[in-house]
Amino acid sequence: MTRLARIPFAAEALLVLVVIAAFFAFPYNLAFVTRILIMVLFVLSIDLVLGFAGIATLGQAAMYGTGAYAAGLFAVHVTAAPLPGLVVGMVAGAILAVVSGLVLMRTKGLTLIMLTIAVAQICHEIANKARDVTGGADGLRGIRMEPVLGLFEFDFIGRTAYWYVAVVVFVVFLALRRLAAAPLGLSLRGIHESPERMTAIGAPVYRRQVLAYTLGGGIAGIAGALAAQVTQLVSLEVYSFTLSAEALIMLILGGTGRLWGAIVGTVLFMTVHHVAASADPFNWLFLIGFLVLGVVFFLPGGMIRLPAALMRLGRRS
Amino acid sequence: MSLILNILIDGVAYGMILFMISVGLSVTMGLMRVINLAHGGFAMLGGVVAHVLMSEAGVGYVPAALLGIAATVALAWPLERLIYRRIYGFGDLQQVLATIGLTFLMIATVNRLQGSTLLALPLPGGLAQSVDLGFRTLPLHRIVVIGVGVAVIIGLWLLIDRTRFGIRLRAAVDNRATAGAIGINTGLIYSATFCLGAGLAALGGILGAEMLPIEAYYPLRYMVLFLVVVAVGGMGSFAGSFAAALGLGLIETASRYLVPEYGTIFYFACIIVFLAVRPKGLWGRLA
C-alpha cells in the first residue's frame, strides 16, 4: 500500500482493474456485484460524515431511502432517463441532510446517534403512511428505466447496470479523494480531531459539520437512486435501522477516514454475509456478531490496518 | 372523560415499563460512560427465560418471572466482567459497534433456540381480569405494572439515597477517579450496578410483554425507545429517567389514542424538537 501510494493514480488504476476483472469473473453474479458497488457508495458517504467529520451517525439510511424514493418517483412520474434521476436523488438526500443536519449538529454523543436513528424512523413512518405516493409496505413499483444517455439499454443480466453503477461510484470516489486533500477535507479532519481547537483557530465548526453532513447526504442519495434504478423497486427497507447499522459495521470493519477502508470493509462484509446467509440462512447473524466483536477488540483500525498489524506481529516474533 | 382516564392509565403503565428497562441504561451511561445498545437484550432475555419456563416446564407466572430476572442477572455478571470491562475505555463509536455486535449475538442465540415467532407470556387468570373501581373497570395488569413501577422507584430511591452502596455509587458517578482514590471499590460498584440495571430491564421486559411483545428482534426493534428515554432524561440521572419515561409514555399513548394515523411521526417530532432545545436532556450532567 505504501509503495503503491508513491506512484500517482496507481491505486485508482488497480481499482479500475478490479472492477473490470469482477465483470468477467462473476458473469452470473453481476446483480450481487452491482449491489456491492452501490453499498460501497453508501458506505463512502458514511466515511465522509463519520470518518472525516467525526459525526457519529446510525441513520444514514434516511438519506439513502429518500434518494431512492425521489429517484423512483421521478422515474415513474416525470422521466425515466437515469442521469436526471441520479441528480434528483442526490438533491433529495442533500435537502433532507441539510434540514435535519441543522438540528442534529447542535447535539453530540449519544443524543446525536439517537436523533439520527429517529430521523430515519420518521422517514420510514412517513413512507409507510403515504401509501398513495410510495406504495407503503408493498413498495414503489412500476419503475422502468430508459437507456443510459439514450444509448445503453438496461439488459436482463445486468451488464449495463453494472457498468453504469461502476462508473458513477468511481466518479464519486475520485471526487471524495479530491475532497480529502482539499482545504475543506483537512478542516473536517481537524474538527474530527478536536472541535475546540478548530473553534479556537476560527473555523466555523457547526457550519462545516452541516456542510459535511449535507455532502454525505447527497452521496447517500445517489446510492439510493442507483439502487432504485437498478432494482426497479423501492421498499420500506431502504429506511431500516439494519441498513444503517450494517453500513456502519462495514465502514469500521474496513477502517474509517481513508476511503479505501469503505471499499475493503464493504466487499468483505457483503461477501461474508452472502456466503454465510446462503450456507445457513438462520445463523449468519452469529458470524456477523463475532466478526464485529473481533474487529472492535483486536483490530480497532479496521481491516485496512491488517497488513501493518501483521508486520508488527512478525517483527516482534 | 373515560378517554382521558384510559390514556392516563395506559400511559403511566407504559411509562413505568420504559423506566424499568431504561434506568439501567441511563446509570451505566452516567457511571461507566458506555453506550450500551445491547441493553434491550437483557429485557428480552428475561422474557425468553420466563417464556421457556412457563411453556415448557409449566412454572407459574410469578416464579417464572423471578427466575427469568435471576437468569438475566446471572448472565449479566460474567458479561460485565469479561466483555464490558474492556469496552469502557473505547471511544463512542467503538462502544456502539461492540454493543451492536453483542446485540446481534443475543438475537442470533434466541433466534436459534426459540425461532423468530412471538414468545407469549400468558398472564395468570388473576392478572388478566379487570377490577371494578365503582365508577369504571380497569385491567388489573396495568394496575400491577404501575404498582411494581412505584415500588421499584421507591426501592431505588432508598438504595441510592439512604444506603452506603448508594453513597458510593453517587460518588463514583460524580468522579470515579477520586472515588477510587478514597478507597471505594469502583470495579465492584460497576458490576453491581450493571447487574441491577440488567435485572430491572428483565423485570420490565417480562411485565411489559403485553405492550412490547418478546421476540428475537426485540433488542433492535425497541432500541430507539429506550435510548430516547435516556437522552431525554439526561444520562446518569434517576429522576430524569423517571420523568422522561413517564412523560414519553403519556405522550406516545396519547398520540396513539388521539392521532393514530400519525402517532409515531408526532412522537418523534416532539423528541427532536425537545432535544434540539435541550441537548443535555432534562437533568443531564453529561452531554
Q: Please state the ipTM of this predicted complex.
A: 0.78
* Interatomic CA distance for residues B174 and B183, integer angstroms: 15
- Quote the cell numbers at residue A92: 433529495
Q: Which residue has the higher pLDDT, A177 or B124?
A: A177
Would you list the DSSP string of B57-76?
A: S---HHHHHHHHHHHHHHHH
The predicted-structure confidence for B188-213, as pLDDT tens digits, reads as follows 888 898 999 999 999 999 988 888 88
- Quote the cell numbers at residue A42: 453508501
Predicted pLDDT of residue A5:
55
Mean pLDDT of A62-66: 93
Q: How far is A81 from chain B (nearest CA, A)?
A: 33
At A148, give phi and psi (nearest 5°): -65, 125
Mean pLDDT of A157-165: 82
Positive or negative, the CA dihedral B12, B16, B17, B22 is: positive
Q: How far is A292 from chain B (nearest CA, A)?
A: 5
* Interatomic CA distance for residues B124 and B120, integer angstroms: 12
C-beta atoms of A118 and B287 within 8 A: no
Q: How far is B94 from chain A (nearest CA, A)?
A: 6
- Quote the cell numbers at residue A252: 469500521
DSSP code at position B90: S
Q: Which residue has the higher pLDDT, A296 or A228?
A: A228
Q: How far is B214 from chain A (nearest CA, A)?
A: 19
Positive or negative, the CA dihedral B121, B122, B127, B128 is: positive
Mean pLDDT of A139-148: 76
Residues 6+ apart with CB under 8 A from B135: none
* Interatomic CA distance for residues A241 and A15, integer angstroms: 30
B279 → closest Cβ in A50, A106, A300: A106
* Interatomic CA distance for residues A115 and B228, integer angstroms: 8
Per CB distance under 8 Å, which residues of B are interface residues toward A? Answer: 29, 35, 83, 86, 90, 92-94, 96-98, 100-105, 107-109, 111-112, 220, 223-224, 227-228, 230-231, 235, 261-262, 264-265, 268-269, 271-272, 275-276, 279-281, 286-287
Strands B137-139 and B130-132: antiparallel
The predicted-structure confidence for B29-62, as pLDDT tens digits, reads as follows 877 778 888 888 999 999 999 988 888 888 888 8
* Interatomic CA distance for residues A193 and B246, integer angstroms: 38
Cβ proximity of B50 and B67 under 8 Å: yes
* Interatomic CA distance for residues B180 and B159, integer angstroms: 20
* Interatomic CA distance for residues A129 and B192, integer angstroms: 44
* Interatomic CA distance for residues A293 and A273, integer angstroms: 16
Cβ proximity of B33 and B191 under 8 Å: no
* Interatomic CA distance for residues A259 and A249, integer angstroms: 14
Distance of CA A10 to CAs A18, A41, A185, Å? 12, 21, 22
Q: For domain B2-277, give the CATH number.
A: 1.10.3470
Q: Which residue has the higher pLDDT, B4 or A91?
A: A91
Q: Which residue has the higher pLDDT, A267 or A146?
A: A267
Mutate to test the interface with B, among A285, A295, A305 (most CBs of B within 10 A): A285
* Interatomic CA distance for residues B20 and A245, integer angstroms: 26
- Cβ neighbours of B176 (radius 10 Å): 18
* Interatomic CA distance for residues A166 and B181, integer angstroms: 58
**Run of H or E including B132:** strand B130-132
Residue B287 binned pLDDT confidence (cut-offs 50, 70, 90): very low
Q: Is the pLDDT of residue A1 over 60?
A: no
Predicted pLDDT of residue B116:
76
* CB-CB neighbors (< 8 A) of B100 in chain A: 245, 248-249, 292
* CB-CB neighbors (< 8 A) of B264 in chain A: 121-122, 125
Q: How far is A290 from chain B (nearest CA, A)?
A: 7
Q: Which residue has the higher pLDDT, A80 or A238?
A: A238
Looking up cell 405494572, which residue turns up? Answer: B145
DSSP, collapsed to helix, strand or coil, labels residue B52 as: helix
B97 → closest Cβ in A103, A111, A252: A252
Mean pLDDT of B146-157: 89
Mean pLDDT of A251-270: 85
Predicted pLDDT of residue B1:
65
Residue in A with minimal Cα distance to B222 = A241
Q: Is the pLDDT of residue A315 over 80?
A: no
Would you list the DSSP string of A23-74?
A: HHH-TT-HHHHHHHHHHHHHHHHHIIIIIIT----S-THHHHHHHHHHHHHH
Predicted pLDDT of residue B198:
92
C-beta atoms of B101 and A129 within 8 A: no
Cβ proximity of A199 and A208 under 8 Å: no
Residue B286 binned pLDDT confidence (cut-offs 50, 70, 90): very low
C-beta atoms of B265 and A114 within 8 A: no
Mean pLDDT of B88-95: 78
Residue A249: closest CA among A60, A35, A32, A26: A60
Threshold 0.90, pTM exceeds: no
Residue in A with minimal Cα distance to B30 = A110
Residue B194: closest CA among B42, B64, B52, B5: B42
Q: How far is B133 from chain A (nearest CA, A)?
A: 38
> What are the residue ranges spanned by the domains of chain B?
2-277
* Cα separation of the two ends of chain B: 40
The predicted-structure confidence for B53-85, as pLDDT tens digits, reads as follows 888 888 888 888 899 999 999 999 998 888 888
Residue in A with minimal Cα distance to B87 = A297
Q: How far is B128 from chain A (nearest CA, A)?
A: 32
Q: Is the pLDDT of residue A22 over 80?
A: no
* Interatomic CA distance for residues B177 and B166, integer angstroms: 17
Distance of CA B174 to CAs B69, B155, B179, B180, Å? 29, 21, 8, 11
C-beta atoms of A121 and B264 within 8 A: yes
C-beta atoms of A111 and B276 within 8 A: no
Compute chain B's Rg from CA coordinates: 19
The predicted-structure confidence for B232-257, as pLDDT tens digits, reads as follows 887 777 888 888 999 989 988 888 88
C-beta atoms of B104 and A241 within 8 A: no
Residue in B with minimal Cα distance to A295 = B98
- Cβ neighbours of B78 (radius 10 Å): 10
> What are the residue ranges spanned by the domains of chain A?
15-240
* Interatomic CA distance for residues B47 and B69, integer angstroms: 8
* CB-CB neighbors (< 8 A) of A119 in chain B: 272
Residue A165: closest CA among A12, A23, A277: A23
C-beta atoms of A282 and B235 within 8 A: no
DSSP, collapsed to helix, strand or coil, labels residue A206 as: helix
* Cα separation of the two ends of chain A: 23
Query: What percent of chain B has pLDDT above 70?
Result: 94
* CB-CB neighbors (< 8 A) of B227 in chain A: 110, 113-114, 117
Cβ proximity of B119 and B64 under 8 Å: no
- How many beta-carbon contacts under 8 Å exist across A and B? 128
* CB-CB neighbors (< 8 A) of A103 in chain B: 272, 276
- Quote the cell numbers at residue A101: 443536519
Residue A223 binned pLDDT confidence (cut-offs 50, 70, 90): very high
* CB-CB neighbors (< 8 A) of A118 in chain B: 224, 228, 268, 271-272
